[in-house]
Structure 1
């Protein structure tokens, strides 16, 4: 059965620490940037919704140890309500960031809807506490936060901790494997973890199918996909906040996403961290848009 498609635009950049040469991280331009390359037109959604984000700041919250926590918490609650008020049953929802901190608002919404799984496709694990973060930025800790790791202000919004159970999560594609202390955090959790080497060994389609099998066995109410574009090889997508040389290619992306996106249990997918300021001619964005549309629309060319 054909599903209705919604696009939600969440142009939040408070989860990133701006670089010295930046006025602010450019990821807040992502929804408009994708529109420029006809993403919205070719997806042809039933509805497009937008929740504007607060102005950028770099306010360190001493209590939680992270940047902009109060503004991020406030936006997450508004985002959750916005999703709940606008999504329809049996719709497929495309969420355009923004940075990875938009996952918190999505997680709150899904926690209110039931018991959901998460397929976390990212070039980093984002599963650390503030003491291991050099930036103190939420986008590098969002997976930890949504599973209840970190300060209660962020992890227990509205008393809903944890927003996702660790054992219902696949974290796939981490390329930051040289830092043993960084990797140890997720290895010692209950999250199903596949770094780049492991996912290549297991197979991209099989990893997706294993996740779908898990959601069935656990009788979950559905699942959500997080896609940080920094999971792609640097030669394909250098327009990101934290570049890593190694990553997956578009064939790998197609293999892993198609079974997930076309499952009736898939609530939707979020796209994060593509920064238009680092791709001013769109030479990296255009092939990304083309491939993503093909995957979502289930086309081969």
Structure 2
């Protein structure tokens, strides 16, 4: 896709996260305004900008499924899918700003209604766990990959009878560095293509991206979508996240991954999640992050102009 125009969708929800502090809700809902403040939109060829106000934050654990805010998350996902549905007909790159990772549900629902799509899931965690796993506390942001591939309560996995929103075999989960055996085992037992951070570096970024794009072609998919949780980045570069870990991708590695994906003619768009402005109030880390994104999109636009 030649990125001549971008449609921006702001989905500022924090319903998929639990509270870290008693007196403060997760600040990820502030991310679109935070990006605007530090100039991201000034660098982009934006055609349209849409904002979908999220329900107010709450901590309501479902007694049956154990999922946090299940009804509110499902309702918001339906609204996301409806908003995206018409825009998917436009020949624009979709840049979707969270919010937390629960926005993946509505985004993949919209794509499922349109056709059969792949998912490049770039994240510091797998987010593929049974609901009652002790690792998640029932928060959808720690379950989103499981939900979109059909694992879990049907109130979120089978909205409008669309289950699964993406087939496991059409997903590459890349960059996980929470390597505890009990955490990783569920995704190893799935049909998802799983590449943790050590494997990514050992095998080579170019090779992994090539494998994904070959899968898209071989499976004759209608296109693919990119999930980008910023906690996949090195903790020194991006500590403003809710679940910090040592190590992570540097910006050179990130661009090596994203550049060929964003340039591909079958890409639909990219979602960015989990950067918490409460944890970067001076914009120290956000500003450097925006510089990298701006360079990525500038390079794509320039290359398409040259060709």
User: Does TM, normalized by the shorter one, top 0.5?
Assistant: yes
CA separation of 1:165 and 1:191: change in aligned 2, threshold 3 A: same
- Measured in 1, the distance between the counterparts of 2:22 and 2:122 equals 28
- Measured in 2, the distance between the counterparts of 1:189 and 1:18 equals 30
Q: Which residue of 2 aligns with 1:293?
A: 294
CA separation of 1:3 and 1:216: change in aligned 2, threshold 3 A: farther
Give the superposed CA RMSD: 1.2
| Alignment of structure 1 residues 123-272 onto 2, 5 Å | 123-132=124-133, 133-177=135-179, 179-272=180-273
Q: Which residue of 2 aligns with 1:8?
A: 9
- Measured in 2, the distance between the counterparts of 1:3 and 1:22 equals 43
Are the equivalent residues in 1 in contact too, given 2:136–2:143 (CA < 8 A)? Answer: no
Give secondary structure in 2 for the equivalent of 1:298: helix
- The alpha carbon displacement at 1:2 in A equals 4.8
TM-score, length of structure 1 as denominator length: 0.97
Are the equivalent residues in 1 in contact too, given 2:173–2:195 (CA < 8 A)? Answer: yes
| Alignment of structure 1 residues 95-110 onto 2, 5 Å | 95-110=96-111
Gaps of 5+ in 1: none
What do the CA deviations read for 1:229-269 (whole angstroms, capped 9, x no partner)? 00001000000010011100000000000000011100000
CA separation of 1:285 and 1:246: change in aligned 2, threshold 3 A: same
Are the equivalent residues in 1 in contact too, given 2:3–2:297 (CA < 8 A)? Answer: no
Q: Which residue of 2 aligns with 1:75?
A: 76
The alignment of Structure 1 onto Structure 2 pairs a total of residues equal to 299
TM-score, length of structure 2 as denominator length: 0.95
Are the equivalent residues in 2 in contact too, given 1:3–1:90 (CA < 8 A)? Answer: no
Runs of 4+ with deviation above 6 angstroms: none
- The alpha carbon displacement at 1:202 in A equals 1.4
- The alpha carbon displacement at 1:41 in A equals 1.3
